[in-house]
Amino acid sequence: MRWPGTRVASGVLAVLLVVIVVGPLVAPYDPAAPVGLPYEPPTPQALLGTDALGRDLLSRILDGGLPMLGTALAGAVAGSALGTVAGLLAAWWDGRSGRSRWVEGAVLRPLDTLAIVPPMLLVLLILTAFTGHAGLVLAVALTGVPLSARVLRAAAAPVVTRAHVEAAVARGEGPAWIVGRELLPLVAGPLVADLGIRFVAAIYVVTAAGFLGVGPSGTDWGTLIVEALPGVELAPLLLAVPVVLVALLAVSVTVLADDAVRRSRAVLA
């Protein structure tokens, strides 16, 4: 936490999380109910103005952060977890057998095939089969699995032959023990950094899903962005506020993920 940028990012992220979590409880109006004329400028009654239907923008912002955050976080955690397991198993099998082509063909090549599908196309394909919030979480998770697997395999490759790993193999420990108890602690830093990157990517995917009309709720920030476009000249705050909030959330998480990489390098060194 000695780097000033990390402190600023931590403070910004903390404030955003409080706003997102507490927002639905303190929203001054029903986010779906008109409270004034369309595209009214900020007033004491509507601090950020109103949208095309006269709904309070502040209430909709406060109500829409939690669905976006929950979906992005669930998808990022699931995708990073699956990618971590695949990457660590691939690194261990490759390190034990030396048959990297077999490992890549069995574990990594299917994920590489998944990675070439554009994220939003993958989201739309999955939502045709799994509608609702669960389908969007699954889609977000699958967009992050391939890169997570590659990152964690690269991070684990130099440590699979360390003495304590060899000792665990000599004791007869199975793959689950090797991956969970021997390799995972050594790649904790890259894992946290990768989770941060997956979370940022998940935010963009969820925001884009809302932009396309398949977001987690009718007030998520991606939906607010697309709803603001027709009247942006009349009410610039309709577009500026959700865009700035998404950017602040993404940048603060990215800065903290970079700090996790620096810390892990210092520990491993």
Contact (Cβ atoms closer than 8 angstroms) between residue 126 and residue 141: no
In this structure, is residue 176 part of a structural domain? yes
pLDDT score recorded for residue 95: 61
Q: Which two tokens stand for residue 144?
A: 């992050």
User: What CA–CA distances, in Å, run from 54 to 40, 47, 50, 181?
Assistant: 7, 13, 5, 56
DSSP string, 161-180: TSHHHHHHHHTT--HHHIII
In this prediction, residue 1 carries a pLDDT of 46
Domain that holds residue 65: 53-268
In a domain, 235, yes or no: yes
Cβ atoms of residues 88 and 153 within 8 Å: yes
Residue 1 included in any domain: no
- In a domain, residue 125? The reply is yes
Question: Residue 54: which H helix or E strand, with range?
Answer: none
Quick one: tokens of 2?
């000695």
The number of domains in the chain is 1
Residue 25 lies in a domain: no
Tell whether 148 is covered by a domain: yes
In a domain, 13, yes or no: no
CB 165 within 8 A of CB 186: no
Write the CATH number for 65.
1.10.3720.10
Q: What is the pLDDT along the chain (269 residues), one digit of tens a residue?
A: 456 778 898 999 999 999 999 999 999 999 999 998 999 999 988 899 999 999 999 999 999 999 999 999 999 999 999 998 888 888 877 666 555 556 666 677 788 888 888 888 888 888 888 877 888 999 999 998 998 988 888 888 888 777 777 787 777 777 777 777 778 888 887 888 888 889 989 999 998 888 888 888 888 998 999 999 999 898 999 999 999 999 999 999 888 887 776 766 655 55
DSSP-assigned letter for residue 55: B
- Tell me, yes or no, whether 46 lies in a domain: no
Distance CA 193, CA 186 (A): 13
